[in-house]
Structure 1
């Protein structure tokens, strides 16, 4: 919707209101201003000139040499316009002026005569698409004045982006009503409310589709003279981008923009039978030529305006060529109607035909405003086109009249929804400022009657929104809603399970998900003794098959079944893990105890089957299984002496019955066995149809979840250099290398940054029954560069600790 400030001033007082303040206020009222443009700035240098003389050009038959006065100066200008004559006032663009289209006027010779500028037509000034000569200005102007100021073109155009529900603001009066509301001033209307009190006998109106046309009114104006509109009317249309056509069409466009009510003028003498029939097209009327000279393919449900024989307009969108007002028209029938918004919207989309009229009908026009807009147009037509029209005579067909509805607005509810505190009187005052009638039945309620032009107000929520809008969205305090946004607590065991799965995936493992049902034969295949508690299973009353007859008590058998199946499919290098439930029966008719365990198997080439180019073939061993668990413990921060429950590895004499002797380790936490790892015995893997070595690990995952890990912490990168020292210790064979390393780590020497075993050697000069274990220890201080004295003191302490604890003979490696 476009309007200008000068046009708006006709309906509301704008004294003291700056354009920027107006646009800001409209935006905060929900009428978003898309742009504000100063009009015709490109014509700022054009002046008013008077032609003093106009004589034929000495060297051209169609040109004239004009002497013009522009204020105190006189210029000679060559002009080819046929209407150039002495005494005429016209716009002039002197040398140096730039006209629309970046056309710069220069002093030049035309057929040997110097021309100092150009006398301009409406087309050259961008005011019209066509012109027959230079523009003729009113005689009351003063030459030398600025053209745009003299002609009233100095104005500011404002464009508002309307939401679909604000059809009432698709007019200058609608915008003025909003401005009058926030300024607390009266709205000035061109006409008071009128009505058609006398039925015309010169034409008739029949509505065959009242559901699509609630109201249709018309008035007949005879003996009009078609011609150009006066400048003030042209100026209004030009200022909002509409092209002036003639006085009749210009009046209908002007009133449409003024009131928001589209109008249409028919050449009455072209209407067969002097009738208007509002109906849908018949089967032989589905082709229709509109005013843009295009043939339209109609649908049977489209609403048409017809005379006694055929359609003459697409209702609410565009008239037809067969009833167009032309230069020879003398009698016009003026239409002002209200059409069904959905019908107009569908028709416009199907025909791909949008117009200013359809834009308003699609959103809904005021059904009670049709007569006021028509009477305003009649007033202007009688003034500008002559003719005669009996006062208050016409036809007003109104089959769709609806009673005014009243809505109850509860004050407390309105304030709660808007987050503000307003009294009943304040709310009533704001609503009445924009024409919404209010009554006060009690202290807590307003009875509100929306005006007919507010077709969007249908319920209490719409009124609440109106109050917020009128109060000012920018004035409503901002506060967060009192909503419980707490996030449900996550199960730590579930999070640890997800983290463990990610860790093993990073190690190259694939996760297996096996059934919780297993075969009782698995217990014999795993060499379990008769008194092993894992032989007690929960038997199923109705098993699917013999292979799934009991609830499992171990995860390893299921993983070995997976290994055997993969090998049969020639996948011989495997790393699988599973986190799942095992079940231990209790008393009869009671639920079994469910315990979560973590188990995994490794077999074949440690690097996989498809990496021979970068790695040598090496089968997995017990250290690979141990390394996987160490990596897991390190990632979970459970393998450090700073943790509350450190997990350690030990070799026990007692071993699992399915493990090969001398190739197994037990996992301890707080002196309690929580799992084991090692090499499965050959007879066990053969019972599962496997002919290669398989290593495993099996941990009680519930206990692992119960351990307290060291909190995450950050350590800055070291800035001081480190010092590395090696130690070689000859110890008895029954002393494990891990015990030496663990002793170093438990010494709590502050300067030790890292320690590791890099060699274990037997034979040579090493006595029988002994071995040499070599350790590398890295020392570093976080606060200074270490001296030899610092390192020697710390290193001697470690040497003494190992000597006292394990005996043996030390030598520098």
Structure 2
């Protein structure tokens, strides 16, 4: 938004403030000033001069030799202008001066006669296109004055970079309103009074078929209009802010738009068919409109048009039509001042590719209450500058009239948020300075009526922001924030995930991160039955691809895809884990339940990096994955029910994607918290994998709910331990881990540890049984154990195992 300082002073007095000071204050108010540029700076060296005498050139009939008084001396100048005469006051450029077009003046001879300067026309000075003769100035002016002072051209252009939420400042008067917050002057109204428009006996009609897209439309007819150039002062102001003068009517509509922010349009009334204005969208068959620039524009069914009784005559808020434009022959015009829906205008301008000053304002929001006063101002200018006669009445259709927005503003809230002490009266004074209506409800609360031009004010906090910028951000005291010295609590689940990641990587695993979106075919590959709750999936409305159409209900399929890819790239030895959410759809139309799970897979050789230097080539098997998950649980120090340090690995509730001969579930008492085993051959086939894969999966949320043994220090034992082995034959149906738990549950006084070191099936063990060998370690913290003490405890343990599990000694073994 560009404006001149003199134009600004028409609405608010800024005496005593320089352009730079105004620019600084506007910037601190949130209206960033891009530039402050003096006008006509190139005319500073040009001076006024009085022609003292004129003689004919001795060698040229069309040239004259003039004696010119510059105020300090009389010089000789050769001139070819037809209107030069003694006594006239004009402009002179002395040697060394550069004209606006780049011409540098030098002392020279013209047909043998010395010329010590150049008398200038208006075009040579860049003031207009007139080149018929010298520019003529007021004869009362003294010679030797700067031309910019003599013509009153000394001015400054200020350009403000507006943010989209401040359309109220896209006008000179809007900027003046902001300036009024830091000067003592009063903002002058756009017009003294507004003529009420009743629409009676006016000879034309306005119909709004789309009130949602056009909340207000005002119009007034003027006759006996004389089309011609606008006055020099208006042309200079339009040119200064970057607009090209066209004729008095078009220039007036542009001038009023820049002045108050209301875009306007003038129709040649005689070209409007049926003497009717209809605001509507295109009808069937209306596909194009030729706009003022002569270009045919393709119409869209959603665009808003201004039409007469038969056809479109303008694209609402963007550009007028060629058939109803103002020409030199126009004598009767219809002035339009309307308000349109910002979203509609924005879409239309983008589709047509016609950015304009009008659409710029409508896209951001024009005050509907401004339409009638802007129309009054434009009518007055047309009457004054075009000799027109205005109809006494016009039409004002206002279907979108709304009551003003009223907000309550708490003084305590303002002071609390800004960190400053402001009284109720101070806050009211600041808001009144930018035309907010204020009513005091009590000593601590104000009722604020938001003006219709402030489309960005919706809530109390918006008013607090207004007070902040009006007070001045630099005036708000700086204070240090109150910072608590204690640290916030960490998310327990996040901490657990970090611990798990460290433990898994320490065991040689790499972490995988896969998409949460997977293919539905994964569920079939995993052999899930139709009644399996993991078949109730969350489907994506707009999936990235067919292979990512649902939210995953298992982590394993993603890791199997990773395994296949690694094998395809000749990396068959794989250790991967992933922690992420699975999504279980409990009820259609509701958000899914999200659970954090851990899944890990191994495949290939057991020690790929160490073979063949240290180990023979061995394939990983079920006991590798079982040992890995056991190490994880021990490293996490998670205890099971009743403080047990070992979890159960049972063959019940085997997952459908597990090989039933090589599978188990991880359980704490009766609660299943995970599963492990070999991936079922059919599942591997579905994923295109031709080598065994072993996995385990854990519910991290379930692990988080369990107690964890706190770390504690224990001194190294001083006394030796005693080890005893137990080799028992038990039925195949007895899990070896149950023997361990049975021993630990006895909580014998000197029992330090117990572990399985051998499981054997085959001759001479009878079919249906197995031999389990355990190593039991005893130790006392206070003395060296003797055989008698150990034998007593050991016998109790053996007797318990034999009774509970129907065990017997293996032949050739001793307890």
Please state if 1:457 is matched with 2:457.
yes
Query: Any residues of structure 2 matched to 1:389-408 within 5 Å, and which?
Result: 389-390=390-391, 392-408=392-408
Secondary structure of residue in 1 paired with 2:245: coil
1:345 aligns to 2:449 (yes or no): no
Partner of 1:154: 154
Number of the residue aligned with 2:365: 364
Secondary structure at 2:309 match in 1:
coil
Distance change (3 Å), C-alpha of 1:135 and 1:319: farther
Please say if 1:518 is aligned against 2:622: yes
User: Is residue 2:651 matched to residue 1:540?
Assistant: yes
Partner residue of 1:309?
A: 310
How much has 1:475 moved relative to structure 2? 2.8
Deviations 1:23-80 (A, max 9, x none): 2221221211122112222221122344566777676677666654433444555556
The residue aligned with 1:292 is 293
Describe the shift of the 1:378–1:517 C-alpha distance in structure 2 as closer, same or farther (beyond 3 A): same
Match of 1:613 in 2: none
- Contact 2:206 2:395 (C-alpha < 8 Å) held by counterparts: no
Check 1:299–1:580 CA distance in 2 against 1; reply closer, same or farther (3 A cut): closer
Counterparts of 1:61 and 1:202, CA distance in 2: 61
Distance across 2 between alignment mates of 1:91 and 1:304: 50
Question: What are the Cα deviations for residues 220-262 of structure 1, in whole angstroms up to 9, with x where unaligned?
Answer: 2222333333332223223222222332222222221111112
Q: Deviations over 1:61-106 (max 9, x none)?
A: 7766665443344455555666666665443333211233544333
The 1:145–1:537 alpha-carbon spacing in structure 2 relative to 1, beyond 3 Å, is closer
Judge conservation of contact 1:538–1:592 (CA < 8 Å) in 2: no
* Cα distance in 1, alignment partners of residues 448 and 49 from structure 2: 59
Q: Hey, what's the Cα distance between the residues in 1 that align with 2:60 and 2:99?
A: 26
Alpha-carbon distance change, 449 to 535 in structure 1, aligned in 2, over 3 angstroms: closer
Q: Distance in 1 between matches of 2:482 and 2:105?
A: 64
Q: Is the 8 A contact 2:42 2:100 kept in 1?
A: yes
1: CA distance, partners of 2:161 / 2:483: 34
Moved more, 454-463 or 103-112: 103-112
Cα pair 2:190 2:373 within 8 Å, conserved: no
**Structure 2 SS opposite 1:181:** coil
Q: How does 1:196-595 map to 2 (within 5 A)?
A: 196-197=196-197, 199=199, 201-209=201-209, 210-390=211-391, 392-478=392-478, 479-480=480-481, 486=488, 488=490, 518=622, 538-542=649-653, 544=658, 545-548=660-663
Q: Matches of residues 721-736 of structure 1 in structure 2 within 5 Å?
A: none
The DSSP-based 3-state class of the residue aligned with 2:180 is helix
- The answer to whether the 8 A contact 1:336-1:370 is kept is yes
Q: CA separation of 1:148/1:284 partners in 2, compared to 1, >3 Å: closer, same or farther?
A: farther
1:40 partnered with 2:144: no
Segment drifting more, 348-357 vs 61-70: 61-70
Q: Measure how far apart 1:358 and its partner are.
A: 1.5
CA contact (8 A) 2:288 2:297 kept: yes
Asked if structure 2 preserves the Cα contact closer than 8 Å seen for 1:205 and 1:397, the reply is no
Within a 5 Å distance, the mapping from 1:742-781 to structure 2 comes to none
Is residue 260–residue 365 contact of structure 1 (8 Å, CA) maintained in 2?
yes
| Alpha-carbon distance change, 439 to 357 in structure 1, aligned in 2, over 3 angstroms | same
Structure 1: distance between partners of 2:426 and 2:62: 72
Give the conservation status (yes or no) of the 8 Å contact 2:120–2:135: no
1:181 aligns with 2:181: yes
Aligned length: 583
Moved more, 495-504 or 168-177: 495-504
* Rounded Cα–Cα distance in structure 1 between residues aligned with 2:58 and 2:285: 64
Aligned match of 2:588: none
Distance 1:292 1:308 in 2: 23
Change (3 A) 1:395 1:500: closer
For 1:522 and 1:440, how far apart are their aligned partners in 2?
76
Distance 1:281 1:497, change over 3 A: closer
Change (3 A) 1:248 1:143: farther
Q: 1:28 to 1:592 in 2, by over 3 A?
A: closer
Would you say the 8 A contact 2:206–2:277 is kept in 1?
A: yes
1:421-453 Cα offsets, whole Å, 9 max, x none, are: 333222222212211111122333322211222
Residue aligned with 2:390, SS: coil
Q: In 1, are the aligned partners of 2:198 and 2:396 still within 8 Å (CA)?
A: no
Aligned-residue RMSD, C-alpha: 5.1
Post-superposition offset of 1:353: 0.9
- Residue of structure 1 in register with 2:135 after alignment: 136
Question: Separation in 1 of the partners of 2:13 and 2:625?
Answer: 99
Give the distance between the partners of 2:286 and 2:661, measured in 1 at CA. 81
Q: Supply the distance in 1 between the matched residues of 2:255 and 2:448 (Cα, whole angstroms).
A: 32
Aligned pair in 2 of structure 1 residues 579, 277: CA closer, same or farther (>3 Å)? Answer: closer
CA displacement 1:95-146 (0-9 Å, x = unmatched): 2112335443334455665554444444443445x44445634425444321
| Unmatched segments (≥5 aa) in structure 1 | 524-533, 553-557, 559-568, 570-577, 582-590, 596-643, 647-652, 655-672, 675-683, 685-813
Is residue 107–residue 117 contact of structure 2 (8 Å, CA) maintained in 1? yes
Alpha-carbon distance change, 537 to 223 in structure 1, aligned in 2, over 3 angstroms: closer
Change (3 A) 1:86 1:281: farther
Deviations 1:338-370 (A, max 9, x none): 222222222111111122122112222222222
8 Å Cα contact 1:501/1:511 also seen in 2: no
Compared with structure 1, are the counterparts of its residues 579 and 414 closer, same or farther at alpha carbon in structure 2 (3 Å cutoff)? same
Partner Cα distance (2:299, 2:56) in 1: 57
C-alpha change, 1:88 and 1:308, in structure 2 (3 Å) is: farther
Compared with structure 1, are the counterparts of its residues 517 and 223 closer, same or farther at alpha carbon in structure 2 (3 Å cutoff)?
Answer: same
| TM-score, with length taken from structure 2 | 0.61
Asked if structure 2 preserves the Cα contact closer than 8 Å seen for 1:517 and 1:548, the reply is no
Task: Give the conservation status (yes or no) of the 8 Å contact 2:122–2:135.
Answer: no
- 8 Å CA contact 1:345–1:362 kept in 2: the answer is yes
| Partner Cα distance (1:414, 1:56) in 2 | 79
Contact persistence 1:253–1:263 (CA under 8 A): yes
Q: Work out the CA distance in 2 between the residues paired with 1:522 and 1:304.
A: 75
Query: 2:315·2:321 contact (CA, 8 Å) conserved in 1?
Result: yes
Q: 1:66 to 1:441 in 2, by over 3 A?
A: same
